[in-house]
Amino acid sequence: MIKITEKKNCCGCTACESICAHSAITMQPDALGFLYPIADATKCVECGLCEKVCQFHSNYKRYDNYNEPTVYALRLKDGEQLMRSQSGGAFWGIARHFIDNGGVVYGAAFTETWRVTHQKASNTDELEKLRMSKYVQSDMRGAFKQVKDDLRQGLTVLFSGTACQVAGLKAYIPAKMHSNLLCIDIICHGVPSPRVWEDYIAYLEKRYKSKIVKACFRDKRYGWHGAKETFRFENGKEITKRTSNRLYFSGISMRESCANCKFTNLKRVGDITVGDFWGIPKDSPYEKDKKGLSLAMINSDKGKEWFNKVKEQYIVEESNTADCLQPQLQYPSKMSPLHSNFAKDYANNGFLFIAKKYGDMGWRYHMRKTINRTKMLIYKIIWALHIKEKPKGV
């Protein structure tokens, strides 16, 4: 029977909950809204399946995946679709092909109340909801069983998610049913707290006295590299913020297992891995126009077969593992040393308190910002004077 003694050892993929035929496991949220399995000993028959299915360890199953992926930099040729994708649109081209050929696609989408859950798309309207990165851990409850039902019915299924979600799904689905399942794993920095996100939404709606009708974590209109969140309200107002991304990228609001991630390497679990192609030379046209470039790694024969079917939709450039080796393919992200204080403060005092203390809402943040700006200005003045005073030819 599964028992989580240390949070860092569970990524919340739901494979154990899904496989238990006795409904002995339920996924329950902690104070930050991250889900963990809780087993009911009175229902458990000690079959051991939940422990066996768990892939959050260094020897996770890789089936027939290649030891080293084939690497491409790519971008959708269709400029409009490119701008509607988070990076170069690697996901859209493949997913659209599935839908057009009668398949179904799973991925992370917002609910009507702006929670992030894994949802199924059977048509292009539903597929639209899966686009763009949501920097919140997606709630997977029910998704694995739904994928299995679809495969049983003979549907072709594309599942997209973080590597830990893909590893959990592939272990849960019996190997004999894998032939109609293609998995895309996304390169992953870590996932932030669902409850902080929900409280943030509630705070914004109260503050601006209107319901949010559109939310975006990394709005491409402000450049592909930017981390500006944008929100549009029912009353027509639109705002840009950084609060959520600031808490996320500083490693404060991240799930504990992300700092202990087993998948930050080139031994990928998906058939295809997609991410942002960071590290493009500054003079490259892809870097200059700031419209995004995808990294795509082909990790299996199945991935290669599907990629060949959609390749025409992209501008494709061959690359290699050395050129695409960003930190998230080498080691896990660091958890902020402030994380446990943050979690306690959040549990005791709520969203606004932590947004002021750790985020960009309070006087502390503005004071730090002013000090840093002043320091930078002084540094620039000293540097300029130094250059001026330098004798010619030195």
Ligand X SMILES: Cc1cc2nc3c(=O)[nH]c(=O)nc-3n(C[C@H](O)[C@H](O)[C@H](O)COP(=O)(O)OP(=O)(O)OC[C@H]3O[C@@H](n4cnc5c(N)ncnc54)[C@H](O)[C@@H]3O)c2cc1C
Sign of CA pseudo-dihedral 89, 247, 361, 112: positive
Verify binding: residue 169, ligand SF4, rule CB under 6 A.
no
Q: Which stretch binds ligand X (CB under 6 A): 58-66, 81-89, 314-322, 381-389?
A: 81-89
CA gap 29, 36 in Å, rounded: 6
Residue closer to ligand X, measured from CB, 65 or 137: 137
User: From ligand X, ligand SF4, none, which one binds at residue 50 (CB under 5 to 8 Å depending on kind)?
Assistant: ligand SF4
Verify binding: residue 159, ligand SF4, rule CB under 6 A.
no
User: From ligand X, ligand SF4, none, which one binds at residue 14 (CB under 5 to 8 Å depending on kind)?
Assistant: ligand SF4
Give the number of other CB atoms < 10 A from CB of residue 285.
Answer: 9
Of 43, 10, 222, 35, nearest to 118 (Cα)?
Answer: 35
Verify binding: residue 136, ligand X, rule CB under 6 A.
yes
Residues recorded for the chain = 394
Verify binding: residue 38, ligand SF4, rule CB under 6 A.
no
DSSP 8-state code for residue 139: B
* Cα atoms in the Cβ-side hemisphere of radius 13 Å centred on 164: 28
Question: What does the CA dihedral 202, 207, 209, 211 come to, rounded to 10 degrees?
Answer: -30
DSSP 8-state code for residue 273: E
Choosing from 138, 264, 313, 319, the residue that interacts with ligand X (CB under 6 A) is 138
Verify binding: residue 134, ligand X, rule CB under 6 A.
yes
CA gap 141, 114 in Å, rounded: 16
Give the number of other CB atoms < 10 A from CB of residue 51.
Answer: 11
User: From ligand SF4, ligand X, none, which one binds at residue 313 (CB under 5 to 8 Å depending on kind)?
Assistant: none
Choosing from 24, 99, 132, 157, the residue that interacts with ligand SF4 (CB under 6 A) is 24
Of 346, 335, 354, nearest to 8 (Cα)?
Answer: 335
Verify binding: residue 37, ligand SF4, rule CB under 6 A.
yes
Of 116, 136, 232, nearest to 188 (Cα)?
Answer: 136
Verify binding: residue 164, ligand SF4, rule CB under 6 A.
yes
Contact string 148-187 vs ligand X (x = CB under 6 A) = ------------xxx---------------------x-xx
Choosing from 14, 18, 65, 85, the residue that interacts with ligand X (CB under 6 A) is 85
CA gap 363, 319 in Å, rounded: 46
The residues binding ligand X (CB under 6 A) are 85-92, 107-108, 116, 130-136, 138, 160-162, 184, 186-189, 191, 274-276, 294, 326, 328
The residues binding ligand SF4 (CB under 6 A) are 1-2, 10-16, 19-20, 22, 24-25, 37, 39, 44-50, 53-54, 56, 162-164, 168, 188, 190-191, 255, 257-258, 261, 263
